[in-house]
Structure 1
Amino acid sequence: MPRPSAPIYLDHNAGAPLRPAVRECMIEALGDTGNASSVHAHGRKARARIEEAREKVARLCGARSRAVTFVSGGTEANMTALSPSWQDQGAPVYLDKLFRSAIEHPSVVTGGRFAVADQIVVPVDREGRIELNALEEAVKDADPSLVSVMAANNETGIVQPLAEVGKMARTYGHFFHVDAVQAAGRMPIDMEAWQADVITLSAHKFGGPQGIGAVVVKSTARVPSPLMVGGGQENWRRGGTENVAAIVGFGVAADLALEEADQTRHLSELKARLENGLKTVCPATVIFGEKADRLPNTSCFAVPGIAAETALIAFDLEGISVSSGSACSSGKVSVSHVLTAMGIEEDLARCALRVGMGWNTTEADIERFLEAWPRIVDRLNPDARHQAA
């Protein structure tokens, strides 16, 4: 009897496998004792580890190390950034509204610390890009507010026109937040070009540990009010004892991601092979955002008549892990708010699958996916093979 093939993981957008170098450094850090707030030798060693990691994360963002505040992950980072209360040059500033795109991550869709009545949703076009004219119309006469637009969408990989959004926010006197959780390690992060006041990150999207993220500000003179208060950790910007091992792992992952920033061509080639193969099997395959600028690792597609829920189970039985949209909905497969905002019909949106590649994805992984897909199609809806594009 043939030996089963090793499982294949193609869900990096939900969370990437831990890099071996990250695991090693974390195990070493876990072997040490010491609270980074203590002044004795053990505490100083823990503090040194944190500050070294802070410098590495700052380099990934082109920021100063003191601009980086470690938090528990992307959701807490977004909750921290989405605050109506800021300090600007030492003076308190209250931001009137939150302007966000219609395709933001669920942690931004909730509005953070803004009241529901103070949130304005800006539409996107059919390719999933924010409507700049609609954004300008919304913000041009508004009191100082916060504009929040993600760098790249977690479901479709579509990259937003951040430089244009940042320029608009600056022109009309608003603060600008970029959720860069999916961008880190997959595209350059340039706070200066984006004119972003604050960006947010999560380590586990690019090979770091789960449970650690960062809020990175352009200037420590302009910062959101703390979400977690208590002790004076993280320069009084986030109370609570630091998770030293996770922070160390975050730093190593950031270093590796920066080193590989110019190696995304490999992922782009794998994505092209995947999408060409999908259309060969089913010419009617729809690639969402196909004409837009997208992350090199992400493909979100659908075949009419093949429901995502049953396709996910079929792939799982083949030993292949993919997903349908965001992984932040308690494992439920439902209609994506992202695709709905793009104007995708509900029947087609219910068929959407996402492949997220990453640092350990190989050509053999994509070939095995494409070998399994025709078998799955033939089981679920053989007529899909003959549908016209």
Structure 2
Amino acid sequence: MPCDCNLRKRITRDKITLNKRDVYLDYNSTTKPNNRVLASIDQINRNYWGNPSAQNSRGVNLYNYINGEIHKAKLELGLNNMKIYFDTSSTSLIHKIGNIEKNVITSNIEHTSLLKVANNTVQVDNRGQLDLNKLESICKKQYPSLIVYSPVNHETGNIQPIAKIFEIAKRYNIKIILDAVQTINRLDREKWLPYCDGFYFSGHKIHGVQGAATLILKDSFINFNLDNSPLPFSLYSGTFNSPAVIGLLTATLDTLKSSKTVLNEIRVLQKEGINILAKCSKDIIFESDINNLTGVINISIPIVDKIEDLLMHLSIEGIQVGRLSACSGDINKKSYVLTAMGRDIKRASTSIRISFGRESKRDDFFRLSAALKSFISSNLP
């Protein structure tokens, strides 16, 4: 359930609605389903409706259709022997992994759902990168069974030293599962896919729909067994959500096939966005490592008295940005990610996350810059 913070109440009270001129810069929270995804879901609902575990021809046909789409994903990923599971969300997946693996380590800036199942956390430096010496020390002394972490941080967009983490893990025969929720659509696959034994992500982060996530395990993890359903790929506690899963598979193929072009466009836009924001106001501080990020820019504005007021101002201006995680509760609290990176309370409490993607434009940053500038100038002491 979403938080019941005062900002949401103010938006409801003031009847702030969406319009065609809205600027959407909160891709890390969710993305708009693309037309191919919607068409694939419509086809399931119209032509393949049924229960894939049912013992009848409609159920068998749907089951075979889903397997065909899974096979396409395997070919695109080059993982013919992979195991694949589907569930309602990445949060549900990581909790089920945690129920099996009892000695999990991660970094101290991961999503809260992952922090809840980890037994040990490794600190990061002021750039948000995992301390490799401390990671190796834990691996050497405590013999963890699994490392789970996100190559691209959900708040800052900073990229971890993926290959080096993998090298340490293999030295101690430890498996790695990547939280790829913010990675699959933000980082070239050759930079992360070879450096793990499995990964998971959600459909709504890659222009699919909400209600479906997937865990993919390579053959190096083939003995890891989560099966609890008549369907070998289902972890749903109830009826398998075939439309959402087909939407997820369609979105996955679209993301993988278009990633080179889209990522190049995002990198160009990222440089332009940083330059536009840098010229906006001297009171803006870049919290992301601008030389090591992808598709996300985190800034803080310490002169702001209350970040809720800035977010309300942006909403009135039709600009959608994020802060912390969408499911993190009080919007005014300090960022534990920035705190772990050594930022003071004021900076950690006045940060916003700007995340963008395939439909973002340079004009989005000009409009954001103008809105920030007007708010800052009207709130100067």
Q: Please name the residue that 1:92 is paired with.
A: none
Preserved contact between residue 54 and residue 65 of structure 1 (Cα < 8 Å): no
Cα separation, partners in 2 of 1:291 and 1:366, compared to 1, 3 Å:
closer
Q: Which residue of 1 aligns with 2:34?
A: 19
Residue 302 of structure 2 corresponds to 304
Measured after TM superposition, the shift of residue 82 of structure 1 is 2.9
Please give the TM-score of this superposition, normalised by the length of structure 1. 0.85
Cα pair distance change 1:37/1:101, threshold 3 Å: same
In structure 2, do the counterparts of structure 1 residues 343 and 43 end up closer, same or farther at CA, with 3 Å as the change threshold? same
* Aligned AA (2:323): S
Deviation at 1:287, TM superposition (A): 1.2
In 2: Cα distance, 1:367 partner to 1:310 partner = 20
Deviation, structure 1 residue 61: 4.4
In structure 2, what is the Cα distance between the partners aligned to 1:179 and 1:5?
Answer: 33
* Distance apart, 1:141 and its partner CA: 2.5
CA-CA distance at 1:265 after TM superposition: 1.9
Cross-structure match for 1:89: none
CA distance in 2, matches of 1:278, 1:168: 38
Deviates more, 1:369-378 or 1:244-253: 369-378
Between 150-159 and 366-375, the greater mean CA deviation after superposition: 366-375
**Amino acid in structure 2 at the alignment position of 1:290:** D
* Unaligned runs of at least 5 residues, structure 2: 1-18
1:177-204 CA-partner distances (Å, limit 9, x unpaired): 210110112212356521x222111111
Asked if residue 133 in structure 1 is aligned to residue 148 in structure 2, the reply is no
What is the Cα deviation at residue 312 of structure 1?
0.7
CA distance in 2, matches of 1:57, 1:380: 51
Mapping of 1:1-389 within 5 angstroms? Answer: 6-31=21-46, 32-59=48-75, 61-64=77-80, 66-85=82-101, 97-111=103-117, 119-190=119-190, 193-194=194-195, 196-219=196-219, 222-226=222-226, 229=228, 231-235=229-233, 240-263=238-261, 264-295=263-294, 297-306=295-304, 307-330=306-329, 332-381=331-380
Secondary structure of 2:155's match?
coil
Aligned residues: 359
SS in 1 for 2:215: strand
Give 1:23's aligned amino acid: L
Higher helix share: 2
Report the AA paired with residue 217 of structure 2. V
1:150-188 CA deviation, whole Å, 9 max, x = no partner? 111111011111211112111112221210110112212
Secondary structure of the 1:178 match is strand
Q: Which amino acid aligns with 2:346?
A: D
The CA distance in 2 between the partners of 1:143 and 1:319, in whole Å, is: 50
Q: Which amino acid aligns with 2:281?
A: C
Pairwise CA distance, 1:205: 0.6
Ranges in structure 1 where 5+ consecutive residues have no aligned partner:
86-94, 384-389
**8 A Cα contact 1:281 1:374, kept in partner:** yes
| Equivalent position of 1:90 in the other structure | none
User: Could you tell me which amino acid in structure 1 is paired with residue 44 of structure 2?
Assistant: A
- 1:150–1:222: structure 2 CA closer, same or farther, 3 Å change rule? same
Q: Which amino acid aligns with 2:297?
A: S
Once residues 288 and 23 of structure 2 are traced to their aligned partners in structure 1, the CA distance between those partners, rounded to angstroms, is 25
| Alignment check: 8 A CA contact 1:144 1:173 kept | no
For the structure 1 residues 286 and 164, does the alpha-carbon distance in structure 2 shift closer, same or farther, using more than 3 Å as the test? same
What secondary structure sits across from 2:360 in the alignment? Answer: coil
DSSP-derived class of the 2:365 partner: helix
**Is the contact made by 2:85 and 2:234 (CA closer than 8 Å) also made in structure 1?**
no
Report the 3-state secondary structure (helix = DSSP H, G, I; strand = E; otherwise coil) of the residue aligned with 2:219.
coil
Q: Distance in 1 between matches of 2:354 and 2:144?
A: 39
Instruction: Name the amino acid aligned to 1:110.
Output: K
SS of the residue 1:252 aligns to: helix
- Taking the aligned partners of 2:313 and 2:71, their CA distance within structure 1 comes to 44
Q: TM-score, normalization: structure 2? A: 0.87
Q: Distance in 1 between matches of 2:42 and 2:235?
A: 27
* Cα RMSD after superposing both structures: 2.2
User: Cα distance 1:17–1:60, how it changes in 2: closer, same or farther (>3 A)?
Assistant: farther
Q: Do the aligned partners of residues 303 and 330 (structure 1) sit closer, same or farther apart at CA in structure 2, a change above 3 Å counting?
A: closer
Distance 1:20 1:235, change over 3 A: closer
